[in-house]
Every structure is written in structure tokens, then in C-alpha cells.
Amino acid sequence: MRKSVGIFLAIFFVLQFNHVRSTSSEQPYRTAFHFQPPQNWMNDPNGPMYYNGVYHLFYQYNPYGPLFANQMYWAHSVSHDLINWTPLDLAIAPTESFDINSCWSGSATILHGNKPVMLYTGIDSENRQVQNLAVPGNLSDPYLREWVKYPGNPIINLPDGIQNDDFRDPTTAWLEDDGKWRILVGSQKNKMGIAFIYQSEDFVNWTKYDSPLHQVADTGIWECPDFFPVSVDSTKGVDTSVINGVVKHVLKVGLFDYARDYYMIGNYSPVKENYVPQNELNLGTLRLDYGKYYASKSFFDPVKNRRILLAWVNESDSEADDIAKGWSGLQSFPRSVWLDRNQKQLVQWPIEEIETLHENKVSLHDKKLESGSIQEVLGVTAYQVDVKISFRISNLEEAEELDLSLSDPQLICSGNNASNKGKFGPFGLLALASSDLTEQTAVFFRVYKNNGRYVVLMCSDQGRSSTRNGLDKTTYGAFVDIDPQQDEISLRTLIDHSIVESFGGGGKTCITARVYPAMAIGEEARLYAFNNGTQSVVISELSAWSMKKAQINVQETISCTDQ
């Protein structure tokens, strides 16, 4: 009897694509450990999943240039560790009447029998947004290199009363006790943001439920929705189909009009098919990230029982700059996500695999920073670093008063940059700084009093991030839900050439920025801890690691034989 067995004879890495400039001096803003394709435009992450020993990332891609196109494709990369990524051929292309004008975002679901399927939005020949199904062409291929579109597409047509371009981005499906799958599709009607819910017994024939799962007036189109359970008593993730008394459900929506991802935490009833959030959606409520972070998508990782989150991080320079660079767009570093123990918000943290890139650790303990002082962090590659710092403060009764009812945190940060002295703050980090501090991206905190309690504000100030003109240098800000009387004020920042990704309060508040220094590039970049408040602070602990370059867009060659 003849037995066919695929044997790996050799796995090795080869040189990066020839058309990618190789040196940091030629491409100073390309990242070392954040995912990006070798060239051209990239936006939303699509269908991330784990299948047969391999992590998969699909994403919106224009194979013909560095700007968004009228015809979008799904590109595809795979990884064994969510750090190093191998590019594969394009997975889904606009070739049929139901997607001829673009293959837009969607999600992966693992069906019974360990069979992955993909739902995605197609822009059809009449420019209507419809929902389509694709399945792997070869389930024995762990890389899932071939995808076959269902010949009966579209499986979900545009609902009555919805405009052609207001119906998109199906979620990962979940299975209920009644044997029916559910998905959400984002939409709007008269500026009412809507999450339509659909049910199916066979994953092909779908019926829209009478009422949306949720809707909110005056929020515009809801796109890239995500709906998943989170444990109320554990930091571990749970599969999308888990529904019991020890989970709450997160409904995340991207508000297209604002390019921001907002989320709600609440209770979902599959019997009533309704969702009751404990925090209603408005422009002042919970966001996954208060900087550049959009179209996020999560998936359940069964290997380590965690929920992992990715998002598109777009550019802050011009289209002309993108054309000159030959590329546009990054993916955020993968984050583990769970429900905070107070059950009021999510916590996000870089996945533990980041430690495989750590080298040359430096540390600092119990360093007092007087008013106006600055401490350089030496011994690390300041343009490619993972840094954690914790601050301890005392004499909090001296803090300034802040009226929260009149306070927009981003406006406070914008009006009080890193050089504006308060009592407690600003104190934090100066990332991608030039030696003379002409260029700097400041990530910092301020502490205020409000009605007998203390308020911690976190800011990311891009105002002095570059001497270049024509850049978006917005300053971002948000409050951090910690009590500085009980907890030290902590900050973790991932710095990677043109992205500064920061996690305040152990991941309770996240702010991502894109910056393009002209001077603080490569070995010229510096990293500092600073305190510009009138009161002293103490660095209780600082740890920083230089980051090795991940193997991204590096071809993996695999030879197989049959015997």
C-alpha cells in the first residue's frame, strides 16, 4: 500500500523582496517588529485565526500601489509565533460579479470538523455591498494557500431600505444551543449605527433577525464590528461561541465618520436575541485605543487560551509621502485582551511572544526625578525598544483641581504639552528624541484632584515629533482608571521607527501614534525619562530592552516529497 507523507526536508529563510529598500537610512520609517507588507497599501486586518499549527493574518491590500484603490484584495501571511511572518499569494481577488469592485473586510470561523471558512464583503457589479463565503481549496494544507468562493454568492444581500454602501464587514460567527450560527453585519440608516444579526443552520442560507442586535442614533455607519465574550473572573480568553453566567460580551464598532474604534461591555441573550450594554456608546466613552488605531479584529487563540487583538495603524504623513515611500499602513503589535477585574473596561497588553525579541536589558531603580530633570536611558537601541517604567508619587494633597464635567482629556493634553509645568506632571518618557530635544514624542502623565479623589491623565504629544512640515501631529489623551494613592503609575511603550505604541496603567489605557522624525533617526534617536512637574516623582523601576528585528516578509522555502 502506497503511503503519501509530506516531509519537511528544509526550512530556511531567504533574502527579503528585492524591491524593498534594505537600509534604515533609505527607509527610516519602516518598522522592525510591527507587521507591514513589503510595499503598497494595507489597511484592515481580516480573518485572523489559528489553524493546524499556523496563525493566519489576512488584510486589505492594494497590490498595485501605496494608496487606497477602488479594487481591494485580501493579502495573506502566516506565522508560527505571531512575531515572524511569511507572505503567501493573494488569497481573495475581485474576480466575480458579486465582488468585482472590491473584496472588503470579513472574518474567519472554524466550523465543526475543524473546517475554516471566511465571510467577506464584496462590492458587486452594481456597487452594492453584499456578503460572500469562501472556503479553503485544500484543508490538508496548513497554510491554506488556496481559497475558493462559494458559487452561490452572495449569501446575504443588501437589506431593504439600506443604501448600497452601508452594509459591510461580517463578524466571526458563533453557535448557539439551538444549532444556529449567528453573525453581525455593520450598517446605518439615517445616521443610526446598526449591528444587524443574521442566523443560519448551514452557514449558507442566512436570515436577518427582526430587530438589530443593537443600534445607536447619530453615530453613522458601523463598520468592522467585533462581538466576543470575555470572562468575568479570569484573564484567559474564551471561544466566540461561549455563553454562560461567567462571561460578558463586548460589542466593538468602528465609527467611520471618526475613524475610531469604540466598544461596549454588556449582557447578551441568545433567547431574546438582544444585547444590553452597561455603558452606552457615545463619543466620550470607551475606546480600544485613543490614538491611531482602527478597524480592529480579534480572534480566539486555542493554543494559549487567549483573545488576541490586531488593528490597522494608518499613516500621519501625506499621500505624496506614501508614494515616495512606496507603502502605507501598519498593523499594531498583537495584544492579549481581557476584562478588567472591575468589569468596567478591557485591558490590553502586548502578547508574551514579544520577549523572544528582547536583548540588551537595562534597568533603573528608585531614581528620584526633581522638577525639570531628565534621565537618559542608555544601553538600548532607542529607535527599536520595549520600555517599562513605573512612577511613585507622594504629597498628593498638593495636586491641582480638575472639573471632570468640563474636561475633555484630549483637549487638556493638547493645551498642556510636555513642557507646560503642572504640580504632578507632566512626567513620563521622551521617545524618538534628538540629542538637543528639538524632536521628541512625549508620552506622559498628569495627576489631578476631583471631588476628593485623584484623576490620572495620560497624554501622547506629537507636537514636536518632527521638524518636518505637512504631518498630522495631533496630541492624544485619555484618563487612566487607577488610584495613585494605591497604585504606582506605570507606562509601557513599544517604539519602532515610526510607531509609538503606549500602554498606561497596566494596559487600561492605550495610545498609539505615528511619527516621522527628521533628526532622531536610527542611532541618532534618544530615549529619556523626564519630570516637568513642580513636584518630584520617583522612578520606582525602569526596564528597557533593545528589540531584535522580526522576520517579516521573509520567504520561507519548504520542500516536500511523497513516499
In a domain, 14, yes or no: no
For residues 514 and 456, membership in a common domain is answered with yes
Whether 350 contacts 334, CB under 8 Å: yes
Task: Compute CA 483 distance to the chain's CA centroid, rounded to the nearest angstrom.
Answer: 27
Q: What was the pLDDT predicted at 280? A: 87
Regarding whether 400 and 291 lie in a shared domain, the answer is: no
| pLDDT of the residue at 557 | 52
Q: Compute the distance between CA of residue 387 and CA of residue 179 in angstroms, rounded to an integer.
A: 47
Q: Confirm whether 29 is domain-assigned.
A: no
In this structure, is residue 475 part of a structural domain? yes
**CB neighbour list of residue 140: distance below 8 Å, 6 or more residues apart:** none
Whether residue 484 is contained in a domain is answered as yes
Query: Using CA atoms, how far apart are residues 534 and 532, in angstroms rounded to an integer?
Result: 7
> Among 23-37, 67-81, 187-201, 212-226, whose mean pLDDT is lowest?
23-37
Tell me, yes or no, if 44 is annotated catalytic. yes
Torsion on CA atoms 263, 266, 271, 273, rounded to nearest 10 = -30
pLDDT digits (tens, 9 = 90+) for 123-182: 999 999 999 999 999 999 999 999 999 999 999 999 999 999 999 999 999 999 999 999
CA 360 – CA 165 distance, rounded (Å):
50
143 and 84 assigned to the same domain = yes
Say whether pLDDT at 11 is over 60. Answer: no
One domain for residues 444 and 481 = yes
**Do 202 and 241 belong to one domain?**
yes
Task: Dump pLDDT digits (tens) for 439-450.
Answer: 999 999 999 999
Q: For position 4, what pLDDT does the model report? A: 32
Q: So what's the pLDDT on residue 388?
A: 98
pLDDT of residue 51: 97
Same domain, 344 and 386: no
317, 239, 280: which is closest to 517 by C-alpha? Answer: 317
Domain count, the chain: 2
**Is 19 part of any domain?**
no
Q: How far from the centroid of its chain's Cα atoms is residue 292's Cα?
A: 9
User: What is the arithmetic mean of pLDDT over 36-44?
Assistant: 97
One DSSP character per residue, 249-262 reads EEEEEEETTTTEEE
Percent of the chain with pLDDT over 90: 91
List, for residues 395-418, the tens digit of each pLDDT value.
Answer: 999 899 998 877 899 999 999 999
CB–CB of 563/5 below 8 Å? Answer: yes
Domain end call among 350, 370, 389: 350
- The domain of 187 spans 41-350
Task: Identify the DSSP state of 173.
Answer: P
Q: Domain end: 293, 320, 350, which one?
A: 350
* pLDDT, the chain, mean: 93
Q: Same domain for 296 and 419?
A: no
Mean pLDDT of 319-326: 97
The predicted model scores a pTM of 0.94
Across 497-517, average pLDDT: 98
- Tell me, what CATH number does 311's domain have? 2.115.10.20
Q: Is the peptide bond before 426 cis (omega within 30 degrees of 0)?
A: yes
Q: What is the pLDDT of residues 217-256, one digit of tens each?
A: 999 999 999 999 999 999 999 999 999 989 999 999 999 9
Residues 130 and 195 in one domain: yes
Report pLDDT digits (tens) over 89-112: 999 999 999 999 999 999 999 999
- 93 and 220 in a single domain? The answer is yes
**pLDDT digits over 444-469, tens only?**
999 999 988 999 999 999 999 999 99
Residue 216 is assigned to a structural domain of this protein: yes
Between 15 and 360, where is the model more confident?
360
31: in domain: no
Last residue in a domain, options 306, 330, 350: 350
Catalytic residue among 44, 124, 169, 289: 44
Q: Is 363 exposed, middle or buried (0-12, 13-18, 19+ CB in 10 A)?
A: exposed
pLDDT at residue 560 greater than cutoff 70:
no
Please report the pLDDT score of residue 143 as a whole number. Answer: 98
Is the same domain home to 46 and 60?
A: yes
Residue range 107-125: average pLDDT? 97
Q: Which of 544, 554, 527 is nearest to 383 (CA)?
A: 527
Confidence of residue 25 (pLDDT cuts 50, 70, 90): low
**Rounded distance between C-alpha atoms, residue 136 and residue 88, angstroms:** 14
Separation of alpha carbons 393 and 370, rounded Å: 11
Same domain flag for 362 and 310: no
Asked if residue 559 is part of any domain, the answer here is no
Residue 386 pLDDT > 70 = yes
Quickly tell me which residue has 499613516 as its cell. 315
Cell for 511?
A: 495610545
Q: Are residues 369 and 446 in the same domain?
A: yes
Query: What CATH number has the domain bearing residue 473?
Result: 2.60.120.560
